[in-house]
C-alpha cells in the first residue's frame, strides 16, 4: 500500500495582504493569526470578499503576504510550497488526459514506474473511480471530476491539503456525498486540512475547528482578521441532525449576520 501522508502543522503569523487597483491601495487581510495542528481540519468561514481564498493562496505560496509569515512544519513558505496541495472549486483537469493520467500528474517527481501505477490505482480506489480510470473528464460527471481532482491532490502526499470551496459547484445531494467522502479520505490520508467554505453545515460536519474571518466590528470596511475560533464538538463521522450542532449552526449564522427563522 502507498505510504500514508505525513501531516504537518500550518502557522499563519500576523499575515496581511494589500492589493493596489487603479492606483488605490486596499488592505484585504490584516494581522491574521492562526495555528493549525498536524492532522487537524480547520474550516474558514466569512462573507464573500473577506479574503478566505487569498489566505489559502498565501498558505501554499501562490501569493505573497504584504506582512507577516506563513510557516509549514515550522519552515517559512517561500514560493510554491511543495508540502501543500490545493483543490479548487473547479476540477481543473486536463481534458486530453484520462482520469488516471490526471491523477498521475500530481505524483512527486521521484515516484515513477510500478510505484507510480500503484499510487494512482490506490487513490482512484479511495475516491471510488477505479472503473473509470481510462475515461476522460468529458465522459464523467462533475462530482466524479472533482473526486479525480481530490485524488490528484492526495497523490502528491501533501502535509497540508488546501480546499477552496471544492463542492460549491455540485448539486445538493452530490455535495453531501462528497463531504462524507472527504471525511473518509482525510482519515485515510492523515493530512492536515484547511478548507474555505460558505456552508456552515459543511464546516460543522467536517471541521475540528471553525475560523470566522471578517473585519473588526469597529471598522467594518477594514481588512479582515480572525474574529472567532469555534471548536466543533463530537467525533467524526457526525450526525447532521445533532441538536448541539444545530444550536452551534444558529450561533455561527448570527455571527455572520444571517437570521434563522423560528419554527
Q: pLDDT value at position 189?
A: 83
Q: How far apart are CA 109 and CA 199, in angstroms?
A: 36
Query: Collapsing DSSP states into helix, strand and coil, what is residue 195?
Result: strand
- Report the Cα 260 to chain-centroid distance in Å: 26
Predicted pLDDT of residue 5: 56
User: Residue 85: phi, psi to the nearest 5?
Assistant: -135, 145
How much is the pLDDT for 226? 96
Q: What is the pLDDT of residue 260?
A: 55
Q: Contact, 39 vs 190, CB < 8 A?
A: yes
Residue 3: the pLDDT is 44
Tell me what the pLDDT averaged over the chain comes to: 91
Integer Cα distance of 146 and 177 in angstroms: 12
Structure confidence at residue 217 (pLDDT): 65
Q: What pLDDT, on a 0 to 100 scale, did the predictor assign at position 2?
A: 46
135-188, pLDDT tens digit by residue?
999 999 999 999 999 999 999 999 999 999 998 888 888 889 889 988 888 887
Q: Is the pTM of this model over 0.75?
A: yes
Which residues sit opposite 42 in a β-bridge? 194, 209
Nearest-Å Rg of the Cα atoms of the chain is: 19
Which region holds residue 238: left if phi is over 0, alpha if psi is between -120 and 50, else beta? beta
* Nine-digit cell string for 209: 475547528
Residue pLDDT tens, the chain, 263 long: 344 458 999 999 999 999 988 888 989 999 999 999 999 999 999 998 899 999 999 999 999 999 999 999 999 999 999 999 999 989 999 999 999 999 999 999 899 999 999 999 999 999 999 999 999 999 999 999 999 999 999 999 999 999 999 988 888 888 898 899 888 888 878 899 999 999 999 999 999 999 999 987 656 677 999 999 999 998 888 888 899 999 999 999 999 887 655 54
**Where do the domains of the chain lie?**
84-157
Amino acid at each position: 500500500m502507498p505510504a500514508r501522508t505525513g501531516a504537518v502543522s500550518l502557522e499563519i503569523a500576523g499575515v496581511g495582504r494589500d492589493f493596489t487597483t487603479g492606483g488605490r491601495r486596499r488592505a484585504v487581510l490584516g494581522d491574521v493569526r492562526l495555528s493549525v495542528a498536524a492532522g487537524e481540519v480547520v474550516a474558514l468561514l466569512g462573507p464573500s470578499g473577506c479574503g478566505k481564498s487569498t489566505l489559502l493562496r498565501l498558505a501554499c505560496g501562490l501569493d505573497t503576504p504584504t506582512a507577516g509569515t506563513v510557516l509549514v512544519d515550522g519552515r517559512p513558505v517561500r514560493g510554491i510550497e511543495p508540502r501543500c496541495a490545493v483543490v479548487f472549486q473547479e476540477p481543473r483537469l486536463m481534458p486530453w488526459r484520462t482520469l488516471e493520467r490526471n491523477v498521475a500528474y500530481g505524483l512527486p517527481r521521484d515516484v515513477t514506474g510500478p510505484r507510480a501505477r500503484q499510487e494512482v490505482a490506490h487513490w482512484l480506489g479511495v475516491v471510488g473511480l477505479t472503473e473509470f480510470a481510462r475515461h476522460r473528464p468529458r465522459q464523467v460527471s462533475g462530482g466524479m471530476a472533482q473526486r479525480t481532482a481530490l485524488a490528484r491532490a492526495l497523490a502528491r502526499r501533501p502535509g497540508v491539503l488546501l480546499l477552496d470551496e471544492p463542492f460549491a459547484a455540485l448539486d445538493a445531494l452530490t455535495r453531501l456525498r462528497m463531504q462524507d467522502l472527504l471525511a473518509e479520505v482525510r482519515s485515510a490520508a492523515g493530512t492536515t486540512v484547511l478548507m474555505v467554505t460558505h456552508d456552515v453545515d459543511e464546516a460543522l460536519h467536517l471541521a475540528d475547528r471553525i475560523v470566522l474571518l471578517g473585519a473588526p466590528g469597529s471598522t467594518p470596511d477594514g481588512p479582515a482578521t480572525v474574529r472567532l475560533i469555534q471548536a466543533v464538538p463530537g467525533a467524526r463521522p457526525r450526525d447532521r441532525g445533532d441538536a448541539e450542532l444545530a444550536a452551534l449552526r444558529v450561533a455561527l449564522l448570527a455571527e455572520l449576520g444571517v437570521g434563522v427563522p423560528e419554527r
